Structure 1
Amino acid sequence: MTQHTDLLLPGTLWDRIRERTDHALETGALQPIPTECEVVPDEGIDFQVRVAPSLDQKIAEMRAQREKEAAGERFDPFARPEPDLYLGSLTPSHYALLNKFPVLEHHLLIVTWGYEDQQTLLTHPDFTAVDVVLSEVDGLVFFNAGPTAGASQPHKHLQLVPLPLSDGASRLPVDALLEPDRLPEKPTRAPGLPFPHAACRVDFRHQTSEQLAEVFYELRRELGIWYEDAPYNLLATRHWMMLVPRARERFEGLMINALGFAGGFLVRNRDDLEQLRSIGPMRVLRGVSE
């Protein structure tokens, strides 16, 4: 493995994220997607739904990239990280990069230096990088295992968004039913959540990266997810970890990634918002995971 000499010093990640964000906004390298946020209550969760009229452009770029890859013209934006978005190495195997098109402020990508496919299972080195990030930033780490789970890039990467997801919210919307304080340390199904999942309590302050990787293994075992390219979403905070199997990328035309299971949706326009209200966010989550 190539050794990278630009490892971020302990305790500097949050300052580095803010400094690089300001710089990338000035240079135009960072292109935030403007949104309006509305709350859509459903089955005990106040879902945060963000309407992004410019999302169609991002979707068109994703489709164009997939078409090129299907024609044998693979382009990997993570092979040479864009300098204005690059923060530095988190570990010898992973680096930190700002999401070029963030919906949420300070959205961070946790990327493998060497190419690994997004559908390969998470490993101990992945959780070492997660441990570094969550030790310094109180946030939600999530992983979309392949296109069926909402991944838009084939190069393996996890993501982090700082908490809270919106002003005035002290916790994630899903916490209302997940009830993290009541979760056991062994994988279980939270009684209030109606979609397939396994969840358990963790403590990133006192658990090693090896132990976190073992928790992931136990969640997989609970759900029977054994094969390498199984689609799933992983969500983790400093206090809990949850795994959700995926059956399909979208439901009734609405595309979902891991953030949906945290209680956050992104839609293209008001028509999509009204469709989501009509169907119900929880039914959409069941529809992509059952």
Structure 2
Amino acid sequence: MPQRKSDARETLFLEPGTLWAKVTERTEHALHCGALQSIPTECKLVEQGGVNFLVRVLPNLARKEEAKKKHDKQTATSGKEFNPFLPYEEDLFVADISDTHLCLLNKFNVIDHHLLIVTREFEEQETLLTLQDFAAMWACLAEIDGLVFYNAGKTAGASQRHKHLQLVPLPLVPDGLQVPIASLFPSIQYQGTIGTIPGFPFAHGIAFCSGKHDVNGTVQNAIAQPDPLEAASSTLEGYHSLLDALGLMSGDRENSNRPLGAYNLLATREWMLIVPRSLESFESIPVNSLGFAGTLAVRSEQQMQFLVEQGPMTALKNVAVPTPTL
């Protein structure tokens, strides 16, 4: 059962108006002490299907791969899977969000001020999101205009089993749309409150806040900074509706806290998108939630050339679930 509003309100620890200052202070500290190990990138815009995809080349992944090898060794030695969040690295700690969630810097960040919204206790990444997850998400979105995403399962690009949402500030592309896929928003077709994007050649569903949205994906007349707990409750309802529409919600909701398949979730202050997943990568190019926002990453110039030839939308189509036929 969802918590009563009065009970849930007591769980929020984050003092309004403080998160961004905490993020910038902790980023400076973590860079100075070496805890934050940003990965330099080169970027290229690749157009397909009406979307200008931002593709990053990550030629220097040595530090991240070395850390993964160390974690794998610890797992093999202890017989228990390594969990970077229990305990978390103190130098990456940003803020306590609630009694169930905290905020950390992403250690190997590609995007500046990339945040992790992590459950204090271990929960599987594949479990359904809860009222508490969305309350923590909105507590952060009220402070930072960003894109929150959730890779629900390894097939959806999750690299850690411990449940965590992620937040990156907007816009994703300098001097561009808030998110590259927003160029397709004017063509959205609705069935009730759930929309589909004709330019997406795969199963998906999108829901908007009340109000009309413009070409940038910004909702006109919407509340920019809603109460986190009120927003969490309505977002949870919308989340369940999208899962239902996409065939991802179990009929036995009382006894099951897992979806019927892997998926990616993306959310801003204005909209929420869910895409069911079938494969973890396109050829050898991994795809997580950010791919469906219009940003992808490759490891080499060879992969970049391959992606340019095949097209980013083709990559998304191959790792998603086919659009159901009537």
Q: Is the TM-score greater than 0.5?
A: yes
The aligned residue for residue 257 of structure 1 is 288
* Cα drift, residue 7 of structure 1: 3.0
d(CA) in 1 for partners of 2:318 and 2:71? Answer: 27
* Structure 2 residues not aligned, in runs of 5+: 1-9, 210-221, 251-257, 322-326
d(CA) in 1 for partners of 2:295 and 2:98? Answer: 29
User: Contact 1:148 / 1:247 at 8 angstroms: preserved in 2?
Assistant: yes
Aligned with residue 308 of structure 2, among 268, 277, 281? 277
Give the counterpart letter for 1:238 in structure 2.
R
User: Residues 40-51 of structure 1 correspond to what in structure 2 (within 5 A)?
Assistant: 40-51=46-57
User: Residues 23-102 of structure 1 correspond to what in structure 2 (within 5 A)?
Assistant: 23-55=29-61, 57-59=63-65, 61-62=67-68, 65=71, 69=75, 72-102=79-109
d(CA) in 1 for partners of 2:11 and 2:194? Answer: 38
Aligned with residue 169 of structure 1, among 163, 169, 176? 176
User: Residues 233-248 of structure 1 correspond to what in structure 2 (within 5 A)?
Assistant: 233-248=264-279
* Structure 1 residues not aligned, in runs of 5+: none
The aligned residue for residue 266 of structure 1 is 297
Aligned length: 287
Give the counterpart letter for 2:61 in structure 1.
L
Report whether the alignment pairs 1:103 with 2:110. Answer: yes
Report whether the alignment pairs 1:222 with 2:245. Answer: yes
Q: Deviations over 1:22-72 (max 9, x none)?
A: 111111110000001110111110000011111255246446645765783
Report whether the alignment pairs 1:191 with 2:191. Answer: no
User: Contact 1:180 / 1:201 at 8 angstroms: preserved in 2?
Assistant: no
The aligned residue for residue 255 of structure 2 is none
Q: Deviations over 1:222-254 (max 9, x none)?
A: 101024152100000111100000001011111
Q: SS of the residue aligned with 1:194?
A: coil
User: Contact 1:185 / 1:200 at 8 angstroms: preserved in 2?
Assistant: no
| Percent sequence identity over aligned pairs | 45
d(CA) in 2 for partners of 1:171 and 1:39? Answer: 15
* Cα drift, residue 194 of structure 1: 1.9
User: Contact 1:184 / 1:201 at 8 angstroms: preserved in 2?
Assistant: no
TM-score of the pair, normalised by structure 1: 0.92
* Cα drift, residue 208 of structure 1: 2.3
TM-score of the pair, normalised by structure 2: 0.82
Q: SS of the residue aligned with 2:28?
A: helix
User: Contact 2:100 / 2:119 at 8 angstroms: preserved in 1?
Assistant: yes
d(CA) in 1 for partners of 2:249 and 2:296? Answer: 28
Q: SS of the residue aligned with 2:116?
A: strand
RMSD: 2.3
d(CA) in 2 for partners of 1:27 and 1:6? Answer: 30
Give the counterpart letter for 1:154 in structure 2.
R
d(CA) in 1 for partners of 2:11 and 2:233? Answer: 24
